[in-house]
A and B are shown apart, each in its own frame.
Chain A
């Protein structure tokens, strides 16, 4: 096949030159390919060994009755998953995780948004307020959980002392099955609201000034009018993003359960990652623990797929 352009090329360069330059081009491509794969090779190999093979391994192990250290195991099909469904502890863990997420996500979003709006509504002390509210998100949760335990101590804790002096009812917050999950959720909100706040602040910065000017012309000059007509609608995409990220983080809650409650009292604060840890690494019921991990994976993948669709939408908005 001879196209017009190759005919022109032939007129300029001799066939021999063209062959040589094509060879040089091919050599260049091969060199670039070799360079690329030798640069990316270690990362690719490690991604396979540390991410992709483990996914297949955890699914495979979930289909066996293997116990860590045992020399043999048998393929049991979906027996582990049937056992999960019948297991009261797992059911409690699943329900608690969902309840926890249902409290933490709206709490984090509403408070994070409120604080971001307040910070953005004035010019003074912005960095100062942002720093204070962001602090819990980067502080070591193991250490701050210990501080929370002291605050919530039934007799010497600041919370109960304050409640007593205000005439409010007190409780043994972390040992009462009615209060333990809401209290852990409050700690979850406390830890994450700074993260939501920062993302909301970034979202507000990217709202074009034109929209506020247009709202001005339309007579929306009061703070609440602007909020309703411009700020909140424009924050829709970032809100959805925060929703998913915080939900994922909340599903992966572990430190506070491990440090403060160990899933108790009873199984009132049992949550998925803690159950996964206990079954796999304390009871060494490897196959069963792996099936918890697979359920966990399904939830997380489902949430991230929703996130991917939402992020697509975000692109369309802009």
Chain B
């Protein structure tokens, strides 16, 4: 029990204030869903009511799913996020193991490089990365969306912190059992570090599912666009204010992460702030 606990009247004030601020925070989400089930006529009549007089959700959601390649955008998002996360783990976990458990000349220098890279804002490097992608001929492809992120300094950093907490005896025992160093990483360290992997995985998937900047630069082909870029194009193509289908599309893009968040809240909070709290 915290020492700042309040007396009953203040407890009512606490709930009142938090319910009001919570409601204000939720308004954009609520309005998004509300417009997504209203007919164009009702949207332009502009009422305060959340629930429509005439339920128009089926039409709007059908329109969102058929007039734009929204399912394709979502699939692209899944493919890109999965590829990025898989490569990040495959590349970062061995490096983190070397930094945490092996003794070799250059280790401190390598760790310093990781820390410096951790501080560099990736957007600032978009121009050289764009040129690199163009030279490699992988722009406008899944590879173009994925390659800037295959190594994550934050991933190396977090995995190293976690691996350091695993006793050295575990490593020695594994060596005596005939494991190779790579085998130790993939069959012992990574499974033991599952909490850190999940937290980092949530961070990685949320950032790349939501990312607009790099996809906007890297792909032109609509069939390759991840969800944020896709709904931006959908919005620009919709002449005027055809809000219903646009809000339906936005709702569908936000929905997977919100469902995941509500069902694994603690993991999300840890993952998205883990880099800060260490």
Which chain A residues have a beta carbon within 8 Å of chain B's beta carbons? 29, 32-33, 35-37, 39-40, 42-44, 46-47, 49-55, 57-58, 61, 68, 111, 115, 117-125, 127, 129-144, 146-148, 150-151, 153, 155-158, 161-162, 190, 194-195, 198-199, 202, 204, 209, 212-213, 215-216, 223, 226-227, 231, 241, 245, 248, 252, 254-255, 258-259, 273, 276-277, 280-281, 286, 289-290, 293, 296-297, 300-301, 304
Contacts and interface: CB of A to CB of B under 8 A. Distances in A.
A252 B113 contact: no
B83 interface: no
B181 A39 contact: yes
Given A57-B128, A156-B241, A281-B216, 20 more contacts: A39-B181, A39-B182, A68-B131, A115-B21, A118-B17, A121-B5, A132-B26, A133-B22, A138-B261, A143-B227, A144-B29, A148-B28, A157-B46, A158-B31, A161-B46, A199-B276, A202-B273, A226-B3, A226-B4, A300-B119
B276 A55 contact: no
A213 B25 contact: no
B98 interface: yes
Interface of B: 1-6, 10-11, 14-15, 17-18, 21-22, 25-29, 31-32, 35, 43-44, 46, 48, 91-92, 94-95, 97-99, 102-107, 110, 113-114, 117, 119-121, 123-132, 147-148, 150-151, 153, 156, 181-182, 185, 206, 209-210, 212-213, 216-217, 227-229, 231-232, 235, 241, 243, 246-247, 249-251, 253-254, 257-258, 261-262, 265, 268-269, 272-273, 276-277
A248 B243 CA distance: 33
Given A36-B104, A118-B18, A42 B94 contact: yes
A138 B31 contact: no
A258 B114 contact: no
Given A138-B268, A202-B273, A54 B105 contact: no
A243 B264 CA distance: 27
B253 A156 contact: no
B254 A199 contact: no
A139 B258 contact: yes
Residue among A46, A280, A289 facing the most chain B CB atoms (10 A cut-off): A46
A124 to B, nearest CB: 8
Contacts of A231: 4
A3 B123 CA distance: 57
Nearest to B156: A43
A301 B26 contact: no
Contacts of B21: 111, 115, 133
Contacts of B250: 140, 143-144, 146-147
B17 A258 contact: no
B18 A115 contact: yes
Most buried by B among A50, A123, A136, A245: A50
Given A143-B32, A255-B228, A50 B4 contact: no
Nearest to B107: A36
A261 to B, nearest CB: 13
B269 A130 contact: yes
Contacts of B28: 136, 144, 147-148, 151, 190
6 contacts: A39-B94, A39-B182, A135-B29, A137-B272, A143-B251, A147-B247
B6 A131 contact: no
B28 to A, nearest CB: 4
